[in-house]
Structures are given as C-alpha cells and as structure tokens.
Amino acid sequence: MMRCIKIFTQGGGKAMATAIGLIDNYYQQHFQHWIGAGEDLYFAVQHTATAYLDSKPALRGKHKITRAERHAAFWSSSFLTDLSAQAWQSQAMMLALAQYMGQERVSNMAMLANVASVAPDVLVRAVRCSGLVLNQHSPRRTELGLLAAANPLIAELCKVLGIFDVAHKERNSAVSMWQSMLTELSPLELLSYASLYAFEHWVPARFNMARPSSDAQADMQAAWDAANDILLWKLANSADDSTRLTDAVIGLALAKHLSPFLFPSPGGQPARHDLREAFANLLAAQIELNSFVAQSANAFSYDHSIEFVRVGDRLEINELDAAARTAWDRNGRKLSALHTYWHYRAVDAFVDSGKATQQIGSAENHALNQVAYIKALRTQLQLNDVYGVSDTVSTDAGDTVPLFQALLSLELMNVFFQRDFLETFVEHLRSTGHWAKALSMLAFNGLRDGNQNRFPLTWSSRDDKVAKMVGWTVTAEQPKGNPRHAAAIVDFWTSDWSKLATQLRDGAAGLKPDLFERPILKMGQTLVQLPWVVGLQNNSSAAINNLRRLGARRNEARSETQRIEAQLGAMLEKRGFKVVLNWSPPLGPDGNAGEVDVICACDSAVLVLEVKSTYLRLSQQDAWQHETTTLRNAGQQLHRKAAAVQLALPDHPELALRLGLKPGAPAPAIYGWIVDTSIECDHQRLGGFLKVSVEELLIALRDERHLLHDPDGMFAQTAPAARAVPQSLYPQAFSVGRFIEVVETQAVWEGI
C-alpha cells in the first residue's frame, strides 16, 4: 500500500500541505531487513537511525537525494509509530529526533505524541539539540504546544522556550532599530565608521596591555564577531553596485564620512557624529545579541552539563556535570599552550636554518622582520605537521603559491600596519589625548611624507598592491622577487565582497569568510585593507581557517589528509613501531569496513588510528555538530576497522608480518584511537574509542611536553630566573606501554 506523509512548505505566510507518496521507503525496508535477519527491534531501530544520520542513501539511481527527501522518507516509516522508551533513549534516535525538530516541512504528530508519552526526557533533549530555541515560528513549536496540555514536562519546556523568545525578540529589535539608522550607508562608508570606532576603542585598549588577559581577548573576539555580523548584514542589504568602487566613489564617500573627523573645517562637511554613535550602539546591540545566542541559547541547546530552570519569568542555570563544564575552558588553555609550543618550535627552526645570524631586509627593519619570519615559520610548521599542508598551496583560481611566502607576506603586512599605523597612532594619542586628533596627525603626516595613505582604512588597485608585495617574495633564487607569486599571494588573502554580497542577497549556500580569515577586501577593481584588522589579528588562526575551512574543497585537501597519516606513521616508526598505512581489509560479515588509515604495532600492542582533518572552531554549536557528525561517524568507522584488524591478524599472515607480529601468535591487545586535527571532544570516547588530537600525539612522540609551559618565559610578564629543565614523559626510556599510558592519562597536558 502507498504510504503518505504531510509535507509543509511556507508560502506567503500560509502553510500549504501536499501529499507525497513514498512507494519505496528505504528506511522502512532497512528496518525490516534487520528484523528479518533475526536482530531484535532495538538493534534494527538504531541501525536504521544511524543510516538516516549518515545521510544514506546518497543517490537514487544517478540522482542525488536531498535532505528534505530523506526527512520525508524516514519520518513516514511505520516502525516509528509505537516505539518503546528504550528504543528512543539511544543517542542515535535522540539525534534523529533532533533533526525532526530542526526541520519544518515534515510532520508526524502521532510519532511525536508517542515519544512525549513514553520518553518525554528524550523529547526535551532533542528539542534542545535541534536549535528550536531560536526558531519560535517553526511548526514544531506548535506541535509542542499541543502536547503540553497533557504533559507537564513538555508544558514546562514550552514556558522555558517562551522566556527565551522574549529575550531573543528584545535583542533582535534593538539590533534592527540601530541598523535602520545606518541603512543609508554603503559597505565602504560603514567600514569607515567601523574603522573610526576601532581606532577610538580597540587599538588603544590593545596597546595599553603588555599581554591581554584571556578575558580581554574574549571581549575583543566578541567585538570582532559582532563587527563581522554587521558588515555581512550591510552586504546582504546593499545595492548591486555598492561594492564596485571607483576613485570617484571612494572620494565622495570619504569626503562625507571620514575626512570631517580627520580634517575638520568650519566650511567643510559636518562630521556625522550621529552615524558614529549609531554604529557604536549597533555594535553594542550586536554584541549583546551574539552573547545571548552564544552564552544562553547555544548553552541551552548544546551544553548538556547544565540545565535551565524557570523561576517565575526568569531562568536560572543548574550545573549537572562540573567536569564536563570545565572541558570547554580547558580546551581554551590547551590552545594557548599550543601557541607557545609552536612558537618555540619555530625559534629552534629559525636558529637551525642559519637565519638568526643573517640580516633580513634593511638594518632598520631587521628586528621586526625577524619576528615576522619566526611567526611565519610557526604557522608553516603547524600547517605542515598537523594539517598535512604541503609547501605550496592554491588560490580559489587555481594558481599556486609557496606557503611560506604567503604566510610571511601576511606577517609583514602585520608588521607594516603595526609600525606605520597603530604604533604611530598610539604615540599621537599620547601626545594629543584625543583619538580624532591622533588620527588627523597620522593621516596628515602620511600625506606630507611622500603622499602615503595613513587613513584608518587603506585602498589601492590590485596592480599597485601586487607591485608593492613583489619585494616580499625575494629569495636566493629570485633576488628581485616574483611578480606571479606576489599576485597569487594577494589573491590567496582576498575576499571578493562583490561576489559575497551577491551570495548573501540571493540567499545562496556557501561559506562566508570572516574579516580575519581573508583580510584583503576586493570591491570591484579596488582592494581595501583595515590596518586595525591586519595589525591586531591572529595570523595563525587566519591561515589555518583560510585553508581548512574556506578551502576545504581545494584539490589538495585529500592529499593533505593522507600526508597527516604518513607523517604520523613516520614518527611512530622512529619510536620502533611497524606501520601499515591505508590498509584495505577483506570483505567481512558486516560488509566493507573501509580503508584503515594507520595500523602500527610494537611489543604485542597494536594501534588502529582513524584520522580526521578539520579546522579551528570557536562556538559550542560548531563543536557539538563536529562531535555528533564527524566524530560520531569516526567512532562507528573505527569500530568496524578495529574489528576487521583483529579478525585479519590470525587469518592473514601477510598483515601480521608487515606489523612485525608472529603469524598465528595469540591475539595482541588492540587500541583504537580517533586522531583529529581539532581539540574538540578531547579525551572523550566515541563509539567506545578514545579521541585525541594530532598535536597531542606529536608532542607525546617527540617528548616535548616542556615546550607547552614557556620554559624561557618568552610569553611571561617577567623572565624566569633560569631555564626550566625539560621533564621527559619517559623517565625510564620510551616504551609502548608508557606511550599508551601517556596518551590515555593526558600526561601531555599535565599542569595546563
């Protein structure tokens, strides 16, 4: 019999219902297959839900199946109607239910009523994980309201969601009100007010702190995120020609919105203090909205170490799992320690290269150029060793560029803007006591000293930018620099705002670069740079996310993952392991287990490693999605692969021999680890397997824990009395047992 399910689509504010016949329901057949094979209902349900979560099937014939089609098929399956509480209380079914609550087109009220009856706690958690807290107009909210009448737990959930709705609406209204004050501005004009604000507030704050505290860094990041959101809003709501700049357009915009602040004149344009104040108020409102989303709504959705309890018309937080709550903060400390580690590695590499005794550039700029060189080495080492990036990378257009030159160019931009803009501005600020007067002196002195652009934002043609960067591509082989490499470097760090504006206006899918990831902004034939961004940003994070987030689909991405595996294998071999890479197990009873990334053995212990390469994440939402998609899948993959290795060792002597094991010997102890380039979910177990970071394994294998702790005081306020003595992770010499103990007990992170 043909089964039907209601599909709701929004049109003109009214819901329209249509019926889609699902003659061939993959998920119902999948469930029936396992029941027919003799498996119990619980197993069949979990296996079917896992297929749904893993976006299976991907194709119907040659046609790609959409997410909407998968939702429709799964939620029309008859096996869902009367499931028991036990079936719903697995992670797979909870995550599946969260997907139901997060979509808007499919309705299965009978299924939902059953869940509310037999497992209301699962429904509550699924609602939290779905992000429904920020979508009060979803039809799923209506369904919850209908269930609330007969279910106190769901009724309380609806009241909690109602409090979030009010708070969210208030903050959105504040943002909208201040946005309306700035609708007249073009993207360039809005950048002018953002730059004025940055030099009034962010630059002085940064230079007043020798080393910003973690709280100060978090506040700055929140402000930058808010500024980025404001600029994306402006691009999404700007005219098509507003991002195609000409000299005439730039001149008119700056004469009206920037020059009155820098060069006030009784007979000139009045300074638009109303717009400057409106931008400051919009920024504050956007920070408040983002803070609400990140610290309240996202915490409600993705932080299950806490619960939100309603007290009248307000919410209080109860802590459920103190250890889990501290994991996020601890990861932040790990990232800080890793920054120290890579800097020390770079200093050693710099000395070993012989550059420490050579002059870099002019004598006047030598010291700053040395710092830039070491920072570029730091990021290159991290990209090479952790992310498998080779010594050349490609731009979006497919041009290749030497990685180190691209990194060094960004660091030299940072030096240039810090020295010639930010530090000079701060000197003027100290002498004048007023940010606008200091900016005026900065700009005036630039015009006087060779007609140089020293405005709070700078602009040039692409040709001029490339010509100025040729000198930064000088090598022993090319003493005059390489114009082709300079052009590719400019493109590598460029975000095309005309294309981005079109993407945002059309609502098209695609990643949106943050300001710091690609800090050269292309508007028509003009390139715009913000000295306060390039001079203050974290260039290491910019490079990593430029390549690993925005460039995840580059042709090199697959080979980079393979290079990570090969490099890990090489380091394990240096420690005495026998290593087999990319082994394909024979077809087993459960089908194809898939290629095993790394297998290594020593002293009758076998490690099976599943390697994942991603990017840096900053939000709980991103981390949770990584955990419940990539890492959850990795746990399933490793379960199959470790079992395949264990089965193969006694039956396939060639694998045992390659691993240095005696064929037919008793089965060795097998350890499965998920090895990820990110540190999210560090030392959690997914599918029963430990998740660790690539960096932790590198440090453990190299025995360099001491470099995480700033042994020379390079990052401390005061230098230590004496260099710290390295404390080996292997005081009794390296052994496989101790190595496994180091990893499983987090010994690398001791004291962090």
**500-514, 575-589, 591-605, 656-670: range with lowest mean pLDDT:** 500-514
How buried is 66 (Cβ within 10 angstroms: 0-12 exposed, 13-18 middle, 19+ buried)? Answer: exposed
Work out the percent of the chain whose per-residue pLDDT is above 90: 68
Contact 342, 538 (CB under 8 A): no
**54-58, 106-110, 137-141: range with lowest mean pLDDT:** 54-58
Contact 673, 610 (CB under 8 A): yes
How buried is 685 (Cβ within 10 angstroms: 0-12 exposed, 13-18 middle, 19+ buried)? Answer: exposed
Give the integer Cα–Cα distance in Å for 630 and 677: 12
Q: Is the confidence at residue 16, as pLDDT, over 90?
A: no
Give the integer Cα–Cα distance in Å for 546 and 552: 9
* Structure confidence at residue 721 (pLDDT): 45
* Structure confidence at residue 21 (pLDDT): 37
**One-letter identity of residue 179:** Q
Give the integer Cα–Cα distance in Å for 610 and 624: 19
* Structure confidence at residue 590 (pLDDT): 63
- Which tens digit of pLDDT belongs to each residue from 689-712? 999 999 999 999 999 999 998 876
Q: How confident is the model at residue 591 (pLDDT cuts 50, 70, 90)?
A: low
- Residue identified by tokens 């979560």 is 53
* Structure confidence at residue 710 (pLDDT): 80
Give the integer Cα–Cα distance in Å for 221 and 213: 12
Residues with Cβ < 8 Å from 195, sequence gap 6 or more? 258, 456, 457, 530, 531, 532
Average pLDDT over residues 359-376: 89
Q: Is the confidence at residue 15, as pLDDT, over 80?
A: no
- Residue identified by tokens 């609502």 is 507
* Structure confidence at residue 1 (pLDDT): 29
Task: Say which DSSP state 317 is in.
Answer: E
Mean pLDDT (the chain, rounded): 89
- Which tens digit of pLDDT belongs to each residue from 46-82? 999 999 999 999 888 788 899 999 999 999 999 998 9
**One-letter identity of residue 87:** A
Q: How confident is the model at residue 208 (pLDDT cuts 50, 70, 90)?
A: confident
Tokens of 286: 């956007």
Task: Say which DSSP state 37 is in.
Answer: T
Residues with Cβ < 8 Å from 443, sequence gap 6 or more? 262, 263, 454, 455
Q: Is the confidence at residue 646, as pLDDT, over 50?
A: yes
Among positive and negative, which fits the CA dihedral 378, 379, 385, 386?
positive
Q: Is the confidence at residue 575, as pLDDT, over 50?
A: yes
Among positive and negative, which fits the CA dihedral 535, 536, 538, 544?
negative
Task: Pick the more confident residue, 222 or 556.
Answer: 222
* Structure confidence at residue 3 (pLDDT): 36
Average pLDDT over residues 341-368: 90
Residues with Cβ < 8 Å from 479, sequence gap 6 or more? none
| C-beta pairs of 559-563 under 8 Å, 24+ apart in sequence | 559/388, 559/390, 560/387, 560/388, 560/389, 560/390, 560/613, 561/388, 561/611, 561/613, 562/388, 563/388, 563/389, 563/390
Q: How confident is the model at residue 716 (pLDDT cuts 50, 70, 90)?
A: low
Among positive and negative, which fits the CA dihedral 179, 181, 183, 188?
negative
Task: Pick the more confident residue, 90 or 365.
Answer: 90
Q: Is the confidence at residue 375, as pLDDT, over 60?
A: yes
Average pLDDT over residues 233-239: 94
Task: Say which DSSP state 45 is in.
Answer: H
Q: How confident is the model at residue 676 (pLDDT cuts 50, 70, 90)?
A: very high
pTM over 0.85: yes
Q: Is the confidence at residue 23, as pLDDT, over 60?
A: no
- Which tens digit of pLDDT belongs to each residue from 159-173? 999 999 999 999 999
Q: How confident is the model at residue 569 (pLDDT cuts 50, 70, 90)?
A: very high
Q: Is the confidence at residue 22, as pLDDT, over 70?
A: no
Q: Output the CA–CA distances (angstroms, integers) from residue 532 to 185, 438, 456, 464, in the order listed.
A: 21, 15, 8, 21
Contact 7, 20 (CB under 8 A): yes
Average pLDDT over residues 96-122: 96
- Residue identified by tokens 């919850």 is 144
Q: How confident is the model at residue 297 (pLDDT cuts 50, 70, 90)?
A: very high
